[in-house]
Amino acid sequence: MNTMTSHSNQALNVIQVPAFQDNYLWIIHRENNPLAYVVDPGDATPIIEALAKHNLTLAGILVTHHHPDHTAGIEGLLKTFNHRTVPVYGPDGGSVPSVTHPLHEGDSIDLENGLMLKIFEVPGHTLDHIAYFYDPQSQSSSKQSTDKAATPALFCGDTLFAAGCGRLFEGTPSQMHHSLSKYMAFPDDTLVYCAHEYTLANLAFAVAVEPNNNVLSNRVTQEKAKREQHQSTIPTNIGLEKATNPFLRCHIPAVIKSAEQQEGKPLNSDEAVFGAVRKWKDGF
């Protein structure tokens, strides 16, 4: 895995913390503010080390879904930082017992460090999956002068990956297609902070679906070069995903044609194309 890296997003600072074989955990904080929030802490130890390295204090935990590689470090963090009350934000319904602040579609949360995040329900990978969206244009009036030049950011767990999307462990193709369509409406420059380094494998599949996509071919070259230098391919951005990710391109004739050839029959909706492409990827 890569070493820990930090991404400056003007008002929003994001620290990438590698874990396990290919997970990325994320720490977010505001410029010149020591209060930090961790997204999907599957492992407490690297988070504790990263907070200490950057002189940050854990102010809260943000969870996207219940899988252990996103939640197993919560209890360790709560025990380590038991000198202060650490809120745990996450999906409603009890799938993550540690959640103290259950969230729903349309909610916004004002974090202690001054950041505001919008909540989207994005079922498909799991039924409880949510995503956190930082919109610089929707911050409180006192922060807008700082944030207006910042880039939007999406913390999407295991829904959208670089050139791919999550497996459908609980949801349906229709649910996942609808969830991803929410991301399609975000600005193209939105930085996508997903939870795994799956990019090269996803790109190999994307090329099988769309072999004549020149933007995709160029991306393969660029991302391979990054990995050869042991660099992360994350974050990606929405514009690049719309141009190269087959799961966001189920309305594109070339993707439809490939999916129909794979299925051996006509597919009469974008949802049907998505389902065929997802099934194809599962066996790729």
CATH of the domain at 147: 3.60.15.10
DSSP string, 186-221: S-TT-EEEESB--HHHHHHHHHHH-TT-HHHHHHHH
Is 220 a residue whose pLDDT tops 50? yes
Cα 97 from Cα 269, distance rounded (Å): 38
> What pLDDT does residue 3 have?
56
**158/214 Cα distance (integer angstroms):** 27
What is the amino acid identity at position 116? M
pLDDT at res. 247: 98
Q: What is the largest CA-CA distance in the chain?
A: 61
- What one-letter code names the amino acid at 171? G
Question: What span, in angstroms and rounded, lies between the C-alpha atoms of 204 and 206?
Answer: 6
Residues 25-37 pLDDT 10s: 999 999 889 999 9
Residue 255 tokens, joined? 């993707």
- Is the per-residue pLDDT at 68 higher than 90? yes
Given a cut of 80, whether residue 9 has pLDDT beyond it is no
Q: Which neighbouring-strand residues pair with 205?
A: none
How far is Cα 34 from Cα 237, in angstroms, rounded to an integer? 27
Q: Which of 204, 242, 249 is nearest to 224 (CA)?
A: 204
Considering the chain, what percentage of its residues have pLDDT values greater than 90? 86
pLDDT class of 122 with cuts at 50, 70, 90:
very high
Q: Measure Cα distances from 68 to 20, 95, 156, 167 in Å.
A: 12, 11, 16, 16
Q: Report, as an integer, the average pLDDT of 53-79.
A: 96
Q: Please write the tens of the pLDDT for every residue from 36-63.
A: 999 999 999 999 999 999 999 999 999 9
Q: Could you tell me the two tokens for 93? A: 């319904």
Higher pLDDT, 185 or 11: 185
User: What is the DSSP-derived secondary structure letter of residue 165?
Assistant: E
Q: What is the pLDDT of residue 8?
A: 52
Q: Reduced to 3 states, what is the DSSP secondary structure of residue 1? A: coil
- Per-residue confidence (pLDDT) for residue 145, from 0 to 100: 46
Domain total for the chain?
Answer: 1
Say yes or no to pLDDT of 217 above 50: yes
**Residue 276 domain boundaries:** 5-282
Query: CA–CA separation, 59 vs 84, rounded Å?
Result: 8
Q: Is 183 helix (H, G, I), strand (E, B) or coil?
A: helix
pLDDT at 10 over 60: no
Q: CB count, 10 Å around CB of 140? A: 11
CB of 57 closer than 8 Å to CB of 51: yes
Confidence of residue 144 (pLDDT cuts 50, 70, 90): very low
Indicate whether this model's pTM tops 0.85. yes
* Predicted confidence band of residue 72 (pLDDT cuts 50, 70, 90): very high
pLDDT in tens, 222-243: 999 999 999 999 999 999 999 9
What is the SS3 assignment for 41-81? Answer: CCCHHHHHHHHHHCCCEEEEEECCCCCHHHHCCHHHHHHHC
Is it the case that residue 268 has pLDDT exceeding 80? yes
pLDDT, residue 271, reads: 96
- CA 40 – CA 77 distance, rounded (Å): 12
Sequence-ordered list of residues with C-beta below 8 angstroms from that of 254, at least 6 positions apart, any chain: 209, 210, 212, 213
- Token representation of residue 25: 């955990």
Average pLDDT score, the chain: 92
Split at pLDDT 50, 70, 90, the class of 184 is: very high
